[in-house]
Amino acid sequence: MDTDKDDHQHVVADLKRLMMEHALPLWAERGWDAQRGGFVERLGADGEPDRESPRRLRVQARQIYCFSKAAQLGWYPAGRPLALQGLDYMLSRAREPDGHPGYVSLLAPDGGMLSSSRDTYDHAFVLLALATVYQLDPDARVRAEIDSILAFLDTKLKSPHGGYLEGVPGSLPRRQNPQMHLFEAMIALFDATHEVAFQNRAGEFFTLLLAHFCDPRTGLLGEYYEDDWSKILPVSVEPGHQAEWVWLLKGFERITGCPTSKYRSALLGSALRYRDERTGCLVDEGNVEGRITKPSGRCWPQTEIAKAWMAQAESGEAGADREARAALVRLERYYLRHAVKGGWYDSFEHDDEARAAPILASSFYHILCAIAEADRVLRQEVTVSVRSLSRSVASVRGIPLGCSW
């Protein structure tokens, strides 16, 4: 790609090719521990797997999601058996190894339990993984496991103040982040099952967003809370999460018919206040006055701002498609031009320290999802009114039109 114009024109096709020809084969070959099972946490800067680091439940679940999604899209048919292998490993090692309900948060390289804690954030990704596997292969055992996890969340972690506690054992502060990813999981579970119960569960998180997380005056999203959802001051702002909610709200609108454009616009507008002047990338953190408090810029917020603009493009916002492509160009330019083809940098600073940093498996979920959305939204030749499509799908499936939350 020689010019900025060419970058924008070809970025979706180039990123899809990078994913199909390099990233998916790389992580299938080197990211899976063929001897002991399980996905590794990271590759070295040279692309060699780190098989000796502890393995987080969230990474196991995210990699299952990635390979299931890639198989579902037809991008990597070998992803299906690998996802099922990963699922077998996660079920046999992380689910109730100590005889108590729920999944443990951390495993040793040999699959032994390193922590008995149950983390709500992790369970959100287990549900996302199960939803994606179920959409690929509707196995009754997977459906039963979904119900089992929901029962665990409802009986052990449901909060009287709304949403779910941080985990077992409980801890403070409470964060909006696990609730956001449970929202994501409920949307995915509806897509996999078409059951109204998941619309209703998603609606509970939408209510939390409006009641506690998003300031209606500023469009800013708080991150940390007391047990009753009162904000902990000073409020920390993560623009990547604001962008992530924009995309998820579009998904919620799609499955329910509930209008979300007002909230999406507010969240996106406030997220754009926190950008690196040199690169245009989102920074990691700021404060409510709009000042940047953590000027580093990780990879994952750049995938989320691209998805946020895609959500707006799908809604017909003028210029949003150009902004989405520009965000993808920044993602490719500053993060995906790694010495290991199919790898990525976690920071836009390409100094010696950044170049020597490991390639984190946890970012794969963000990157694959952004590229899949780009291929779906930005490559469409015929644009259909998404509002009309949402309402017609709602009518067919018996979804109540309008919004009851």
**Residue 398: per-residue pLDDT:** 40
Task: Give me the mean pLDDT over the 293-299 stretch.
Answer: 96
Token representation of residue 10: 């070809």
CATH number of the 4-397 domain:
1.50.10.10
Q: Which of 15-24, 185-194, 352-361 has the lowest mean pLDDT?
A: 352-361
Banded model confidence at residue 209, pLDDT cuts 50, 70, 90: very high
Task: Give me the mean pLDDT over the 359-368 stretch.
Answer: 98
Contacts of 173 (CB under 8 A, 6+ apart): 224, 225, 226, 232
Task: Give me the mean pLDDT over the 231-244 stretch.
Answer: 97
* Residue spans per domain, the chain: 4-397
Banded model confidence at residue 405, pLDDT cuts 50, 70, 90: low
Tens digits of per-residue pLDDT, 155-177? Answer: 999 999 999 999 999 999 999 99
Within 257-319, residue ranges assigned H as helices are 261-271, 299-314
CB 242 within 8 A of CB 271: yes
Is a pLDDT exceeding 90 seen at residue 223? Answer: yes
Contacts of 398 (CB under 8 A, 6+ apart): 196
**Residue 359: per-residue pLDDT:** 98
Q: Which of 3-12, 92-101, 327-336 has the lowest mean pLDDT?
A: 3-12
**Residue 348: per-residue pLDDT:** 84
User: What's the pTM value of the predicted model, to 2 decimals?
Assistant: 0.93
Banded model confidence at residue 213, pLDDT cuts 50, 70, 90: very high
**Residue 383: per-residue pLDDT:** 38
Identity of the amino acid at 206: F
**Residue 350: per-residue pLDDT:** 65
On the 0-12 / 13-18 / 19+ scale of CB atoms within 10 A, 92 is exposed
**Residue 349 vs residue 77, higher pLDDT:** 77
Tens digits of per-residue pLDDT, 22-70? Answer: 999 999 999 999 999 999 999 999 999 999 999 999 999 999 999 999 9
Residue with tokens 């010495």: 339
Computed on alpha carbons and rounded to an integer, the radius of gyration of the chain in Å comes to 20
**Residue 354: per-residue pLDDT:** 77
Cα(29)–Cα(23) distance, integer angstroms: 10
CB 228 within 8 A of CB 211: no
State percent of the chain over pLDDT 70: 92
Q: Break the chain down into helix, strand, coil percent, rounded to 5.
A: 55, 10, 35
Token representation of residue 150: 């929901």
**Residue 5: per-residue pLDDT:** 62
Q: In the Cβ-directed half-sphere of 393, how many Cα atoms lie within 13 Å?
A: 16
Token representation of residue 324: 């989405």
Average pLDDT of the residues of the chain:
93
Cα(350)–Cα(377) distance, integer angstroms: 31
Task: Give me the mean pLDDT over the 305-314 stretch.
Answer: 98
Task: Give me the mean pLDDT over the 240-247 stretch.
Answer: 98
**Residue 404: per-residue pLDDT:** 63
Within 100-175, residue ranges assigned H as helices are 120-136, 140-152
Task: Give me the mean pLDDT over the 185-203 stretch.
Answer: 98
